[in-house]
């Protein structure tokens, strides 16, 4: 067995440099790699292209990287909770590629599966389709979308073992598993790190073959984007 454990987030992000492309898992603020994002902020790495479902909020998640202008391009499906993101996009400081959510998930999955491109009806007839090849299948127009990969994929799991096998919980399964497959190097931070054999093989969502580095994160804030009370 290859022991893939590293000491902490700072050691996990070793090798990430300016102008690299990163995938960061999570859905909204659920299941985001909080410790790794904090380490990226402290390392002051610049010019990043970030592929993520969202851009965090102004003071949490990827919003912390946006505050320090460490991101040059966002490839996302939802960015509605971040005023700084809006400001940078409208001022031209930030390049943005907005993608239908299902297309984003499938482009990541395709990248991890070695599929270079696929046709989808999502986005046809909108700005999303501009400049893309269109073909008709079963009487319906589809646009060609290319797969996404990254220099590093950074994901957050509920549990993981020293061999890199991962179990995700709830909504964190939306983008973390496909992104874990699509990084040249995949970093996993986990809430609980266990020994090999402790995870039931029937419930492992990402096999360790896709993970190169794993560490147990520190305290997780698990921020809620919009809290409604009465």
Q: Kindly state whether residue 70 falls inside one of the protein's structural domains.
A: yes
For the whole model, what pTM was predicted?
0.93
Residue 117 has pLDDT above 90, yes or no: yes
What pLDDT was estimated at residue 203?
Answer: 96
Q: Kindly state whether residue 186 falls inside one of the protein's structural domains.
A: yes
Q: What gap in Å lies between CA 38 and CA 104, rounded to an integer?
A: 24
By mean pLDDT, which of 25-34, 130-139, 219-228 is the weakest? 219-228
As a whole-number percent, the residues of the chain with pLDDT over 90 amount to 87
Question: What's the CATH code of the domain at 71?
Answer: 3.40.1080.10
What pLDDT was estimated at residue 229?
Answer: 84
Band the pLDDT of 167: cuts 50, 70, 90.
Answer: very high
- Residue range 118-128, pLDDT digits in tens: 999 999 999 99
Q: Kindly state whether residue 53 falls inside one of the protein's structural domains.
A: yes
Q: Kindly state whether residue 125 falls inside one of the protein's structural domains.
A: no
Write out the residue range of the structural domain in which residue 183 sits.
9-116+148-216
Band the pLDDT of 141: cuts 50, 70, 90.
Answer: very high
Q: Kindly state whether residue 153 falls inside one of the protein's structural domains.
A: yes
Number of domains in the chain: 1
Q: Kindly state whether residue 133 falls inside one of the protein's structural domains.
A: no
Q: Kindly state whether residue 28 falls inside one of the protein's structural domains.
A: yes
For 42, 76, 121, 134, 226, the CA distances from 144, given in Å and listed in that order, are 38, 18, 9, 6, 35
């Amino acid at each position: 067995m290859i022991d893939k454990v590293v000491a902490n987030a700072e050691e996990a992000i070793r090798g990430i440099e300016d102008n690299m492309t990163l995938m960061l898992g999570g859905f909204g603020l659920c299941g985001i790699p909080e410790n790794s994002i904090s380490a990226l902020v402290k390392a002051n790495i610049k010019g990043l292209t970030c592929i993520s479902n969202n851009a965090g909020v102004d003071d949490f998640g990827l919003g912390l990287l946006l505050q320090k202008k460490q991101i040059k391009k966002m490839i996302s499906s939802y960015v509605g909770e971040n005023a700084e993101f809006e400001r940078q996009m409208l001022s031209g400081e930030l390049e943005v590629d907005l993608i239908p959510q299902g297309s984003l998930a499938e482009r990541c999955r395709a990248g991890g599966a070695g599929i270079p491109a696929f046709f989808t009806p999502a986005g046809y007839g909108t700005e999303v389709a501009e400049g893309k090849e269109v073909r008709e299948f079963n009487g319906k127009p589809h646009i060609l979308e290319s797969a996404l990969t990254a220099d590093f994929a950074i994901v957050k799991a509920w549990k993981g073992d020293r061999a890199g096998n991962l179990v995700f919980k709830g909504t964190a399964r939306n983008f973390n598993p496909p992104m874990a497959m699509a990084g040249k190097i995949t970093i996993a931070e986990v809430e609980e790190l266990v020994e090999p054999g402790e995870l039931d093989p029937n419930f492992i969502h990402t096999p360790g073959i896709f993970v190169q580095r794993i560490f147990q994160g520190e305290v997780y804030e698990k921020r809620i984007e919009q809290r409604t009370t009465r």
